[in-house]
């Protein structure tokens, strides 16, 4: 069987369609009044008369219930609230990425992390930069602080630090928030790079984790 182009799109549109007033097909509906009071089960025609008498709409809010649940309300306001809630959910669904650095990071590894971090901020995600000290590296905290500040500067085209980097035990930590979408400019990626998806396990934490580094640290301590 050949699928028709756009079939999935039409299915999505139908699934999101909200029935109201004379478009409600059920023989009986459970009705919630404009004041939130349960009005009971009745034919939709009867519920629609009540809604019209109040200058409001009868809206199907739970189509899968048996019988379907309808509310008497102002449809325009209801759609606005749905849209607002959807935007809030999408906003809260943005993940916080973490880029982990070491004070002695190689230039190539540094640039790899900066490019990925720039991509994540450009996509609207928050970013947490963490730099970890081990052993005698704590004697040169200023080098780690300079590196974190350089990363913030390199990412300034897409994000802004929420606060000054802070030393917390053996870690320097700072969070960056994305700039408004129309203000984001790329320095280390092209638009084609943005179309390349990062694997989920790699995108959550940009972590420097090489056997050589672990061996070097063990020899220091």
Query: Per-residue pLDDT tens for 84-117?
Result: 877 766 665 567 889 999 999 999 999 999 999 9
Identify the pLDDT of residue 183.
Answer: 96
Other C-beta atoms lying within 10 Å of the C-beta of residue 119: 20
Q: Do domains 14-76 and 94-220 have the same CATH topology?
A: no
CATH code: domain 94-220 is 3.30.110.10
Q: If phi over 0 gives left and psi between -120 and 50 gives alpha, with beta otherwise, what is residue 129?
A: beta
Instruction: Find the angle CA(206)-CA(212)-CA(215) to the nearest 5 degrees.
Output: 115
Domain boundaries, given as residue ranges, for the chain: 14-76, 94-220
Identify the pLDDT of residue 212.
Answer: 41
Section 167-176 average pLDDT:
94
Section 137-156 average pLDDT:
95
Identify the pLDDT of residue 14.
Answer: 55
Beta-strand ranges (E) seen in the chain are: 29-32, 38-42, 57-62, 69-73, 96-101, 126-132, 159-161, 166-168, 171-178, 205-206
Q: Per the confidence metrics, is the pTM higher than 0.85?
A: no
Structure tokens at 26: 């059920």
Other C-beta atoms lying within 10 Å of the C-beta of residue 69: 19
Query: Per-residue pLDDT tens for 184-218?
Result: 999 999 888 776 655 443 434 554 443 344 344 44
Q: Evaluate whether 116 touches 198 at the Cβ level (below 8 Å).
A: yes
Between CA 55 and CA 77 the distance in angstroms is 13
What is the fold, at CATH topology level, of the domain defined by 14-76?
Answer: Ubiquitin-like (UB roll) (3.10.20)
Identify the pLDDT of residue 85.
Answer: 79
Q: What percent of the chain has pLDDT over 70?
A: 77
Q: Is the pLDDT of residue 7 over 90?
A: no
Lowest mean pLDDT among 31-35, 78-82, 88-92: 88-92
Between CA 182 and CA 118 the distance in angstroms is 15
Instruction: Find the angle CA(15)-CA(16)-CA(17) to the nearest 5 degrees.
Output: 95
Query: Per-residue pLDDT tens for 36-65?
Result: 899 999 999 999 999 999 999 999 999 888
Other C-beta atoms lying within 10 Å of the C-beta of residue 200: 8
Between CA 120 and CA 194 the distance in angstroms is 9
Residue 17 pLDDT level (bands cut at 50, 70, 90): confident
């Amino acid at each position: 069987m050949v699928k028709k182009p756009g079939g999935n799109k039409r299915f999505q549109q139908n699934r999101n369609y909200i029935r109201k007033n004379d478009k409600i097909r059920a023989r009986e509906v459970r009705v919630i009044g404009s004041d939130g009071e349960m009005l009971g089960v009745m034919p939709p025609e009867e519920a629609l008369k009540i809604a019209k008498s109040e200058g409001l709409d009868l809206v199907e809010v739970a189509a899968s219930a048996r019988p379907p649940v309808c509310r008497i309300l102002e449809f325009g306001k209801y759609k606005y609230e749905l849209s607002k809630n959807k935007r809030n959910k999408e906003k809260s669904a943005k993940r916080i990425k973490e880029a982990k650095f070491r004070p002695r990071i190689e230039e190539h590894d540094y640039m790899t992390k900066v490019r990925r971090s720039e991509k994540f901020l450009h996509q609207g995600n928050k970013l947490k930069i963490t730099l970890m000290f081990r052993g005698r590296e704590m004697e040169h905290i200023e080098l780690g602080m300079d590196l974190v500040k350089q990363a913030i500067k390199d990412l300034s085209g897409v994000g802004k630090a929420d606060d000054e980097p802070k030393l917390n035990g053996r870690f320097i930590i700072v969070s960056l928030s994305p700039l408004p979408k129309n203000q984001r400019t790329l320095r280390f990626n092209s638009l084609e790079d943005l179309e390349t998806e990062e694997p989920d396990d790699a995108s959550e934490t940009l972590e420097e984790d090489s056997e050589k580094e672990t061996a070097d640290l063990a020899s220091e301590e």
